[in-house]
Structure 1
Amino acid sequence: MKIFLDTADLGEIRRAADAGLIDGVTTNPSLMAKVSGDRDPADLFLDICAAVDGPVSAEVVAVEKDAMVSEGRRLAKLADNIVVKLPLTEEGLRACRALTSEGIRTNVTLCFSPTQAAFAAKAGATYISPFVGRLDDIAGEGMQLIAQIRQIYDNYGFDTQILTASIRHPQHVVEAMLIGSDCGTLPPKVLYQLLKHPLTDKGLDAFLADWKTLGKDL
């Protein structure tokens, strides 16, 4: 499963990219607002695209099809690895179809049902972003949605990649991998939780303590 970092924080992106931990980045207007300050959003997108060797999702803020298409075209021209992020609305699917016909990659976001995911695939979306954590928040079963989408896409040969989003903890990542999600996007906190295990830390401490008794350097 490809791992994307869900942030617009350049420091976090560069840290994870330098360690080879991520395959791409996803952003949204809320994440951009947290870090952009007075910067032109286009400049920030350019820096993010330069920092990671993989797709970078950049979201439109228009709500009508023609305006979404116009914004999407401008975003796609910024860098070759830009993926235009669109909301899962009727207008968003119209825009998805139009942009896809022009060879522009798309990420259809805010998906909460298997039928929404099917329509996004029929519209030619490159990625579909089902929000598992937000479904869990309302006593739904977010990972069940991923399993349903996986089966539907496999049943009908859709090429759209499942990008599990709104990941809240490492178990979401494990379950997404077991189900067969193509990608998962997660915040920096969860990314580094995936690396940590108390037995690893304990074992390393023991190894170093034993080596220290030798009183020698390598």
Structure 2
Amino acid sequence: MASKLEQLRSMTVVVADTGDLEAVRRLEPQDCTTNPSLVLKAMQNPAMDEHIARAVATGRGSDDAVAAIAQELTVGLGVELARIVPGRVSTEVDAKLSFDTEASIAKARSLIEAYDRLGVGRDRILIKLASTWEGIRAAERLEREGIQCNLTLLFSMAQAKACADAGVFLISPFVGRITDWYAKKENRTFEPEEDPGVLSVRRIYEHYKAHGIQTIVMGASFRNPGQIEALAGCDRLTISPELLTKLSEDQGELPRKLSAGAAEGTAEPIGEAQFRWEMNEDAMATEKLAEGIRNFHADAGKLEKIIGERLAV
């Protein structure tokens, strides 16, 4: 029997959630996703020292050298990933811009221009934005410009509905972080079929398919193979190299769990007031969104510290 990873590939587009170039070569995903934490981790690998040195040399004379070098490093890593995978690479807009629509749009355009200068077209890139109201509005405008987006840090149906209304290309509803919140709150563990993170993605997937919404659903943030298996059949799943390896080593049967049926009608749009109210009423989504933004910003700060130390040499 084929491994669970090969069975998963037959029903779901498999995406690697990493900046580890060797892992991507070995696991052969269709796409890759990165975020500030993964970029930071990749840059701490000694194999990236030459890449860092080139970026520092390129950006040293810029008005804001640290920011220029940070973008050079992020885009440079994305270019290397794009040379390996046949599909898309997701690159994230700075977390500190999560509540600034205009600045998010400007940063997204800058990233696309940087990729273009290095020979990677916008058709190979997804711009990642946090699923704040402002981030979703930025994505709506970018999509109209032909810059396709991946809306991340998505924990609620309100966020999913707003992303659908905005016509975004792809959303990344999180699983593991939702599970973590409920496990701590209820002081218990969950089996996959009752896992709050798994159930959240299933509800979003079913809502989208029932209403003919074209936005791609890509489950993200997994803690164990069971969560992944419980979402087999989802449009896409972005998975860490560690869990991809575990799936590749498991020869058990993997049944399909999600299937798209016929669309039944058009979904009602969600306005800003309703979006904010539903987020306010969802403590988990509010807390995990804020925490995710803070953590991504903190890791971006650590990368900037590394750059500052290199500039001082």
TM-score category, normalised to shorter length: 0.7 to 0.9
Counterpart pick for 2:33 among 7, 19, 26: 26
Maintained 8 Å contact 2:174/2:201? no
**5+ unaligned residues in a row in structure 2: which ranges?**
1-11, 45-51, 56-72, 183-194, 253-313
Q: Deviations over 1:88-129 (max 9, x none)?
A: 001101110110001111000011111211111111111111
Shift in Å at residue 171 of structure 1? 1.3
**Normalised TM-score (structure 2):** 0.59
- Say whether the 8 Å CA contact 1:75–1:82 is kept in structure 2: no
- Asked if 1:67 corresponds to 2:103, the answer is yes
Report which structure shows greater RCO (CA 8 Å, sep ≥6). 2
Q: Equivalent pairs: percent with the same residue?
A: 35
Match of 2:66 in 1: none
Q: Distance in 1 between matches of 2:86 and 2:250?
A: 28
Q: Distance in 2 between matches of 1:51 and 1:95?
A: 29
Q: How far did residue 155 of structure 1 move?
A: 2.3
Partner in structure 2 of residue 187 of structure 1: 240
Shift of 1:46: 1.1
Partner of 2:148: 105
1:2 matched to 2:13: yes
CA distance in 2, matches of 1:42, 1:86: 16
CA contact (8 A) 1:7 1:25 kept: yes
> CA–CA distance in 2 between the matches of 1:90 and 1:197?
40
User: Contact 2:74–2:91 (CA<8 Å) still a contact in 1?
Assistant: no
Question: Residues of 1 paired with 2:200 and 2:164: CA distance?
Answer: 15
CA distance in 2, matches of 1:198, 1:147: 25
Check if 1:147 corresponds to 2:202: yes
Question: Deviating runs (4+, > 6 A) in structure 1?
Answer: none
How many residues get paired?
Answer: 193
Give 1:16 shift.
1.7
Q: Which amino acid in the other structure matches residue 71 of structure 1?
A: K
Question: Does the 8 Å contact 1:168/1:186 carry over to 2?
Answer: no
Q: Unmatched 5+ residue regions in structure 1?
A: 200-218
List aligned pairs for 1:37-186, cutoff 5 A: 37=44, 38=52, 39=55, 40-61=73-94, 62-63=97-98, 64-77=100-113, 78=115, 79-80=120-121, 81-139=124-182, 141-177=196-232, 180-186=233-239
Equivalent position SS for 1:162: strand
Q: Calculate the aligned-residue CA RMSD, in Å.
A: 1.6
Asked if the contact 2:19/2:34 (under 8 Å) is kept, the reply is yes
State the SS of the aligned residue for 1:138. Answer: helix
Separation (CA, whole Å) in 2 of partners of 1:27 and 1:82: 11
Give the Cα separation in 1 of the matches to 2:41 and 2:153.
20
After superposition, give the CA deviation of every residue in 1:53-104 in whole Å (9 maximum; x if it has no partner): 1111100003311111111122234123110000000110111011000111
TM-score when normalising by structure 1? 0.84
Q: Deviations over 1:120-176 (max 9, x none)?
A: 111111111111001111126011111111121122211011100001221112111
Higher strand share: 1
